[in-house]
Amino acid sequence: MDAYEVIVKPLITEKSVWLSGRRFEETSSKPARGGTYTFEVHPKANKAQVRYAIERIYGVRVMDVRTGRRPGKRRRYRQSIGVTSAMKKAIVTLHPDYHIDLF
């Protein structure tokens, strides 16, 4: 599978923006955060393929990949009930020396 087929799109949510923030919180006692990005990936992609795709597309070094499946949700449309499409997402943690400019 090609690297551009594995990564569907980056997921931009409040939580993903918070996770990708500054790596070191210098002024507060909160734990360090940052360097973690969320992507929607192909449903049949495994962690090794996601790691390879992120490293090739963005030119960064990946430390950890976590994946999860989100089932489709039931939605009402007029008089019938439908289901939204299911998706697979990957949470990618980068080496501290690298970052991705998504937003």
Question: Can you list the domains of the chain with their CATH numbers?
Answer: 3-94 (3.30.70.330)
Secondary structure (3-state) at 34: coil
Name the pTM for this structure.
0.81
Q: Hey, what amino acid is at 48?
A: A
Q: What is the pLDDT of residue 31?
A: 55
Residues 87, 69 contacting (CB under 8 angstroms)? yes
Say what the pLDDT of residue 4 is: 94
What is the reported pLDDT for 52? 96
Q: What is the pLDDT of residue 20?
A: 84
What are the mean pLDDT values of the chain's consecutive 10-residue runs (103 residues total)? 93 88 55 80 96 95 95 92 95 91 77
